[in-house]
């Protein structure tokens, strides 16, 4: 069994690798931080006796995504996890950073999903886990681009799920939608959370447990489940107002 994990050098990605290694999966791990990848690979080889392949790649580059697919075949689980955010007024945030975010959070996910899903359907087996966010269910003033990227992942995954269901395919797609998690995300996004942050290992264990159960929406934590319900029931303008107040507190100013 083999799993491919992007954004594997830290946070949820790193802990997903640890959980799958304990279940005997051989791993292909992708990230931009070579040293952290090598440290993780050494840890997993020694502790869990699994094969670990590491690739240092910037997946905001479409050609790198294609190269990754060409070099890593026969994947049983694809975990799209690489991504980052940014916080600030849309008219003031960095255009270049936002385009890089869109390429990483959307284009890379889309490309790898497309390529590996075709292979999985031919084999009649396989699982795809897209790491989205509770942000994907609501508007996100002051983090508008990030929220929009996660909404894309939620919606495309929902659509693909229905296609697979109608085809009676045994290939599975799921989305992991956590709230704030203690990871490097906060530093990259230039935010400070003022609400409870989940432990990334607990999120990873919960994710794999529910992936193995065949769940589509994987939402760790009662508070996050309630937030998803609220996003469905509460009028969008009100959600925008509340979200704006929450995001404003995050800004490091």
Q: Which residues contact 89 (CB under 8 A, 6 or more apart)?
A: 142
Our measurement of the distance from residue 252's CA atom to the centroid of its chain's CA atoms, rounded to an integer in Å, reads 24
pTM: 0.89
Active site residue 47: no
Encode pLDDT of 100-142 as tens digits.
Answer: 999 999 999 999 999 999 999 999 999 999 999 999 999 999 9
The answer to whether 69 is a known catalytic residue is no
Tell me which of 25, 69, 109, 146 is the catalytic residue. 146
Choice among 150, 152, 206, 250 that is catalytic: 150
Provide the CA 49 distance to its chain's centre, in angstroms: 26
pLDDT in tens, 24-51: 999 999 999 999 999 999 999 999 999 9
């Amino acid at each position: 069994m083999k799993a491919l994990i992007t954004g594997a050098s830290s946070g949820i990605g790193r802990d997903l690798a640890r959980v799958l290694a304990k279940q005997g999966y051989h791993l292909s791990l992708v990230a931009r931080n070579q040293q952290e990848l090598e440290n993780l690979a050494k840890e997993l080889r020694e502790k869990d006796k699994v094969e670990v392949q590491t690739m240092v790649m910037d997946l905001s580059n479409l050609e790198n995504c294609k190269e990754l697919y060409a070099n890593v075949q026969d994947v049983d689980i694809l975990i799209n996890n690489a991504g980052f955010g940014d916080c600030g007024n849309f008219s003031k945030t960095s255009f270049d950073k936002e385009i890089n975010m869109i390429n990483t959070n959307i284009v890379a996910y889309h490309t790898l999903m497309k390529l590996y899903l075709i292979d999985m359907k031919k084999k009649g087996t396989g699982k795809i886990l897209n790491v989205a966010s509770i942000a994907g269910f609501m508007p996100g003033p002051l983090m508008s681009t990030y929220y929009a990227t996660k909404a894309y992942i939620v919606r495309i995954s929902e659509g693909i799920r229905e296609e697979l269901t109608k085809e009676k395919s045994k290939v599975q797609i799921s989305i992991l939608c956590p709230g704030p998690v203690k990871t490097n995300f906060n530093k990259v996004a230039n935010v400070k959370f003022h609400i409870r942050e989940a432990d990334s290992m607990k999120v990873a264990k919960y994710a794999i447990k529910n992936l193995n159960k065949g769940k589509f929406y994987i939402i760790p934590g009662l508070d996050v489940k309630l937030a998803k319900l609220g996003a469905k029931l509460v009028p969008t303008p009100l959600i925008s107002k509340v979200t704006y107040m929450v995001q404003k507190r995050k800004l490091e100013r």
